[in-house]
Structure 1
Amino acid sequence: MSPLSSPAPWPERARGAITGWFTTGFSRGRSDALTVARAALAASLAYLVSGFLWNHEHPFFSSIVAFIIIGFGIEKKMRKVVELASGVMLGVLLGELARSLLGSGTWQIFVVVLVAGLLARFIDKSSLFGFQTAIQSLLVMIMPVTPGMTPGGRVLDALTGVTVAIVVHLLLSGNPLRLQARAACSFFGELDDTLVALALAARSGDHGVARAALVSLRSSSQKYTDEWTLANDVANEMATFSPTGVRHAHQVERLQHLLIGSDRAMRNMRVIARREVEFLEAVHGDAHSRLADALLAARDAVGALREAVQRDEVDFTEARRRLRLFCSYLTPEMLLQNDEGTRPGRAGHFEGVTLTIQLRSLAIDLLQSTGLSAVEAKRFLPSLVVAADGEAIGPRPLTREMRALEPPATTEALELLITDRSDPDRTR
């Protein structure tokens, strides 16, 4: 084994693993800090409210219930909050009923957990509902009875915890746009990395780099789509139910629409990566710097989209400008010549044209994600209609027949470029 391929010494590998674990954990903790703080606040408030209202000495059920309902992560949508609250209350009631009728002991625990689990599965298919029903009935059976605590008192504490948790969830959910922006940035970061890798492959002619980008994209791209979809669902509920989130409803809707075109663009990127691998294989590794420039222009447009979603008022004007530059590359005449100025052979031409068409589809997807219709987006693309004049072949002034086949970009495309959909002065 050569020195270049030998593994790093174990102290370096251990240091790298520890550093990676610490960095990942710190990032995870920072992103969930507000949620954990809300859960802690709900637990402490529930304990305080139960003690004040019901004069219970140790109302621990209030804190337990409130913390469980708030929990960790952004996936606590209203449906899940209601499922948790219903499961908690049913479990507490079943536990209290079993304790008063059967007492507390080993076989009683078996009976109540079995009944609670089966009843929960009968009522609702949600595993979350069933888990909370069973665990709360178990807690009622095994927790010691404190002085002055009555069966009805534990039910009151649980109900107080549920109420406090729902109020905290609605009032302190935060800005729903932050959830969407964080998911969108991760999504566009994956697109950005892939476009850079494909540009490097085109500039160097190395189809192995493009193939590695394709493998990476196939393994991870769906994760980013799923995260953004979840963030959209949560943000939509926050903008619907939370008093602090209602004012963001319009922007939440715009970022939901952004995912539609962006998801199609991500799926398109997998096809583009595969087409580029086949194109570079067909041209035997020739360097194509102009293709690389086009991919980097697409990367700049994706970067503008990522910057747009991080603003309080989403504006896609800059993204459309960058997409217009990307579109200017998208003809076979621009993309298929290698760095020596020669065009590919028959096989390379076929793969190159296919790649060009797929890149045009990517441009339309990204333009539509900014709020344009398909017809409006297509006006940004250069015409593919060409006319022959002796030995010269290239774009020519369109005849009436050609114009009917593919109309050229008009001044309306420039209006669409600089005018955002949120502009009240826009005529349509």
Structure 2
Amino acid sequence: MGAVRAELGRRLQRWRRTALPILQAALAAGLAWFVATALVGHPHPFFAPISAVVCLGVSLGQRPRRVAELVVGVSVGVGVGDVLISQIGSGPWQIALVVALAMSAAVLLDGGAVIALQSGSSAVLVATLLPPSSNGGFDRMVDALIGGVVGLAVTALLPANPLTIAHRHGKVVLGELSTALRGIASAVAEHDTAKASDALAQLRKSQTAIEDFKDALKAGQEIATIAPIRWHRRNELDHYREAAVPVDYALRNTRVLARRALAAIRDGEQVPDNLPDVLRAYADAVDLLRTELAGGDRPERTRKAVRDAASTATTTELGGDGFSTRVVLAQIRSLAVDLLQATGLSRADAVQALPPLTGKP
């Protein structure tokens, strides 16, 4: 029974995350049909609501730029399909030709894969669902444009919260970084190659999360730009945008760190006793960064936490004479620079903020 409730809870949570896009698509479909019938005078504007739904989709955080690309794609496909099918009829070779030409026209107009694919699928609809003898003509392209424009309008007037999108993806990325650092710390403390391997394997999967994070920030920035009720959120995304690239570098450097820590453990190198404490201190700083970003604050406390952790990550404090161990210590220094940059410092200021490498501050 508990498992059923848990599964139901997960499904409800998933629905709540997509409730706004579902509402957007439903509203856009109804409005597109109304505009095409009542205002433009088309009796059966099939492509108006279908274009609105296709352009919006049901993906939370859909980028307005992608919606605009889909508007172009649908319209080009419908237009090319109408012109050609009315002249050459419908059949296997006609469908193949229409799809090829519609996708080619889309590529020449913009070059985006999304536009090309949507142009091809729209051309197929024209070639197969509506016979060439019908009187759709130019009206169907107009309907497609109406649906797309209505979809964009709904995106602007009923937008997702850009900060919610950024929070969700930022939480995932920073959580993976923090978990990886704690995993490496445990592996080093226990001289456990299995734990080090697990941490490395998880880090190798983290690139997808960071790419999703960057896409989410682009989506949030576009929403905050075109949606009047979200204009006041534009500056609040700055902290996340400042952190995105340095966090990506931090994940990459942590991946190198995990690989060399695994090698050091496997080769029996003498690893500094306080290295796990330094790694855990960095993990705490990452957790603090996640909290401060979610709160909309400048990550000043994170900056101090990173510098405090780095104060023991010097040659004097950590030592180490094995090759892999020395690489680990170098990566710890690089990681500190990355995390300081994630708080808004430039690279030069981040390096200057760290204590000397060969001694205490």
Q: Give the TM-score normalised by the residue count of structure 1.
A: 0.73
1:64 to 2:50 alignment: yes
1:226 is aligned to 2:199: no
* Number of the residue aligned with 2:350: 377
Deviations 1:126-167 (A, max 9, x none): 33222222222332333358xx97534433322221220111
Counterpart among 269, 288, 301 of residue 254 in structure 2: 269
Deviating more after overlay: 36-45 vs 76-85? 76-85
**Cα distance, 1:328–1:133 mapped onto 2, change above 3 Å:** same
Say whether the 8 Å CA contact 1:258–1:370 is kept in structure 2. yes
State the shift of 1:364 in Å: 1.7
CA contact (8 A) 1:75 1:230 kept: no
Q: Are the equivalent residues in 2 in contact too, given 1:205–1:285 (CA < 8 A)? A: no
CA distance in 1, matches of 2:345, 2:98: 58
Aligned to 1:36: 22
Contact between 2:200 and 2:259, CA under 8 Å: does it hold in 1? yes
Q: Deviations over 1:73-122 (max 9, x none)?
A: 35743443332212222222223333443455666545533443444445
- Residue 243 (1) aligns with residue 228 (2): yes
1:95 equivalent in alignment to 2:81: yes
**Paired residue type of 2:168:** R
* C-alpha distance in 2 between matches for 1:107 and 1:20: 52
Partner of 1:135: 121
**How far off is 1:182 after superposition?**
1.7
Q: Are positions 1:368 and 2:352 aligned together?
A: no
SS at match of 1:59: coil
CA apart distance, 1:231:
1.6
Superposition map of 1:193-208 within 5 A: 193-208=179-194
CA, structure 1 residues 352+118, in 2 after alignment: closer, same or farther (shift >3 Å)? Answer: closer
Query: Which of 313, 325, 328 is the matching residue for 1:330?
Result: 313
Report if aligned partners of 1:332, 1:352 keep a CA contact under 8 Å in 2. no
Kindly state the Cα deviation for residue 209 of structure 1 after the two structures are TM-superposed.
1.5
Conserved? CA contact 2:32–2:52, under 8 Å: yes
Q: CA deviation at 1:190?
A: 0.8
- Distance in 1 (CA, whole Å) between partners of 2:102 and 2:12 is 38
- Judge conservation of contact 2:81–2:126 (CA < 8 Å) in 1: yes
State which of 276, 296, 300 in structure 2 corresponds to 1:317: 300
Provide the secondary structure at the position in 1 that maps to 2:234. helix
Conservation of the 8 A alpha-carbon contact between 1:236 and 1:252: yes
Does 2:239 align with 1:254? yes
Greater relative CO (CA pairs within 8 A, separation 6+)? 2
C-alpha distance 149-207 of structure 1, shift in aligned 2 (>3 A): same
Q: Taking every aligned residue pair, what percent have the same amino acid on both sides? A: 33
Segments of 5+ residues of structure 1 without an aligned counterpart are: 1-15, 337-343, 387-394, 396-407, 409-428
The verdict on how the C-alpha distance between 1:273 and 1:51 changes in structure 2, with shifts beyond 3 A counting, is: same
CA separation of 1:230/1:140 partners in 2, compared to 1, >3 Å: closer, same or farther?
Answer: same
Say which SS state the counterpart of residue 32 (structure 1) adopts: helix
Q: Which residue of 2 aligns with 1:181?
A: 167
- Tell me how far 1:187 sits from its aligned partner: 0.7
CA distance in 2 between partners of 1:382 and 1:114 (Å): 62
CA distance in 1, matches of 2:340, 2:143: 53
The CA distance in 1 between the partners of 2:110 and 2:355, in whole Å, is: 55
Which segment drifts farther, 357-366 or 66-75? Answer: 66-75
Q: How far is the alpha carbon of 1:170 from its aligned partner?
A: 2.1
* CA pair 125-37 structure 1, distance change in 2 beyond 3 A: same
The question of whether the paired residues in 2 share the 8 Å contact of 1:205 and 1:287 is answered with no
The one-letter amino acid paired with 1:268 is N
Q: Which has the larger radius of gyration?
A: 1
Unpaired runs of at least 5, structure 2 = none
How many residue pairs match? The answer is: 358
